[in-house]
Amino acid sequence: MPDRAPQPVDRQLPTDEARDLISLVRDIAQREIAPSAAEEEDAGRFPREVFTLLSDSGLLGLPYDAEFGGGEQPYEVYLQVLEELAAARLTVGLGVSVHTLASYALAAHGTKEQQAEHLPAMLGGGLLGAYCLSEPASGSDAASLRTKAVRESGGDWVITGTKAWITHGGIADFYTVMARTGEDGPRGITAFLVPGDAEGLSAAVPEKKMGLKGSPTAQIHLDGVRIPDARRLGDEGQGFAIALSALDSGRLGIAACAIGVAQAALDEAVSYAAERRQFGKPIADFQGLRFMLADMATQIEAGRALYLTAARLRDAGRPFAKQAAMAKLHCTDTAMRVTTDAVQVLGGYGYTADFPAERYMREAKVLQIVEGTNQIQRMVIARHLAGPEER
Ligand SMILES: Cc1cc2nc3c(=O)[nH]c(=O)nc-3n(C[C@H](O)[C@H](O)[C@H](O)COP(=O)(O)OP(=O)(O)OC[C@H]3O[C@@H](n4cnc5c(N)ncnc54)[C@H](O)[C@@H]3O)c2cc1C
């Protein structure tokens, strides 16, 4: 089966600068990421050198202020960059999204001094971040987390507990950790910026996952990790609100990654259908398959439009949490459907590792789970329908 270059997506971009940025990202994706993606995912290898390249190219802090090394790009542009990266390799697109999520607490709630000290290295200095909310016994019910931070008489905090499912666990340079400093429930949680080499911080052996194997996901043990108060992000008790507002934006990142994976699967299916012949003609000539491909393409366009709507609301400074939850729900369900259909278009070959369709299908599944399962997204959407007093 000859390789066919996928048709580039015809994107809606607000400026020439954004168009140049997307061209740069496509170039990096096609030269440095896609060619080794299948082999490295199979081997479970994390491409650290790609993240160094992205950092050097100014692509690890895109939606943040230029003052501290960010790219000052609107979300509608940043998300389309993520989509291109995820289409080349989800480990990279999702990794950039998680790094952005991990940087959020400091960028949005840190003091000027904290930002000046840490943000430049986080946004463009080659550091890699991790976001630590989930725990073994608290996933969807994140506000019941048990990791504790206790303030000592000298002012330092001592953090003890276990975080679960941490993307970049064990390889991150910094961890944004939500820990309990007060009462039970959401108001007793505070956010901290913990360095990756802090004494007492260690990572378990990474989880053995269905897909996304190049991206390490591991438990993080915090065994009496001592942190100065200068690394507390936001006020005491504000950590859960910070974590949730980070997730509103992070969910848009997951939505964009999902559309990237779905687009890659569609491109694969279209190429294959044009080449594969049965009953004397290309299978793309059969209406049964043409309609399937048309439905896949339509769902992808609808998903892209939905995440861009949410992004544009965010860029305009308007509330966007409901639309972000809708985008996460719709785009990740779309990715699951489209990748499953792509396997179908490829027939028996789709079920083998000789083609990427089966990898896309395994990768799509995790997107329905991370950063709030799709059941939780429905709860968020329903709460918004019920009006502000119910939220
Ligand atoms: C590969 C991967 C990477 C991850 N990366 C990170 C990370 O970097 N940082 C981080 O903090 N976390 C991370 N997570 C954790 C992820 O956010 C959680 O897995 C997710 O929030 C669900 O939590 P849980 O797995 O404990 O499932 P549970 O909360 O136990 O849910 C189990 C099932 O019950 C459903 N359910 C739960 N409550 C309700 C309800 N009220 N109504 C209806 N259904 C409900 C869920 O939808 C799900 O289907 C990652 C997970 C994975 C798999």
Q: Domains of the chain by range and CATH?
A: 16-124 (1.10.540.10), 129-240 (2.40.110.10), 241-386 (1.20.140.10)
- Which atom of ligand 1 is found nearest the CA of 169? 8
Nearest alpha carbon to residue 233 among 103, 352, 330 = 103
Candidates 91, 97, 140, 383: which one to mutate for ligand 1, based on the most atoms within 8 Å of Cβ? 140
User: What is the rounded CA–CA span in Å between residue 161 and residue 201?
Assistant: 10
Would you state the structure tokens that stand for residue 213, as one six-digit string? 């194997």
Within 10 A of 111 (CB to CB), how many other CB atoms are there? 13
Pocket of ligand 1 (CB under 6 A): 98, 131-134, 139-140, 165-167, 209, 212, 217, 366, 369-373, 375-376
Pairing of β 174-180 and β 189-195: antiparallel
User: What is the rounded CA–CA span in Å between residue 4 and residue 42?
Assistant: 22
CB contact at 8 A, 350 and 362: no
Give residue 1's pLDDT. Answer: 37
- Give the pTM: 0.97
Active-site residue, selected from the candidate residues 76, 83, 363, 371? 371
Candidates 373, 378, 381: which one to mutate for ligand 1, based on the most atoms within 8 Å of Cβ? 373
CB contact at 8 A, 186 and 240: yes
Compute the distance from residue 373 Cα to the ligand 1 centre, in Å: 6
Give residue 139's pLDDT. Answer: 97
CB contact at 8 A, 233 and 179: no
Atom 15 of ligand 1, residue of closest alpha carbon: 165
Would you state the structure tokens that stand for residue 13, as one six-digit string? 């971009």
Give residue 3's pLDDT. Answer: 42
**Eight-state DSSP code of residue 196:** T
- The DSSP string of 216-278 is -EEEEEEEEEEE-GGGEESSTT-HHHHHHHHHHHHHHHHHHHHHHHHHHHHHHHHHHHHH-EE
Nearest alpha carbon to residue 145 among 154, 159, 157, 133 = 133
User: What is the rounded CA–CA span in Å between residue 61 and residue 281?
Assistant: 49
In a structure prediction context, what are the per-residue pLDDT tens digits for the chain, which is 391 residues long? 334 455 688 899 999 999 999 999 999 999 999 999 999 999 999 999 999 999 999 999 999 999 999 999 999 999 999 999 999 999 999 999 999 999 999 999 999 999 999 999 999 999 999 999 999 999 999 999 999 999 999 999 999 999 999 999 999 999 999 999 999 999 999 999 999 999 999 999 999 999 999 999 999 999 999 999 999 999 999 999 999 999 999 999 999 999 999 999 999 999 999 999 999 999 999 999 999 999 999 999 999 999 999 999 999 999 999 999 999 999 999 999 999 999 999 999 999 999 999 999 999 999 999 999 999 999 999 999 987 655 5
Give residue 386's pLDDT. Answer: 86
Decide: helix, strand or coil at residue 182: coil
- Which atom of ligand 1 is found nearest the CA of 215? 1
Give residue 366's pLDDT. Answer: 98
Compute the distance from residue 32 Cα to the ligand 1 centre, in Å: 32
Compute the distance from residue 43 Cα to the ligand 1 centre, in Å: 26
Active-site residue, 371 included: yes
Compute the distance from residue 90 Cα to the ligand 1 centre, in Å: 19
Give residue 389's pLDDT. Answer: 58
Q: Give the bridge partners for 161, in sequence order.
A: 222
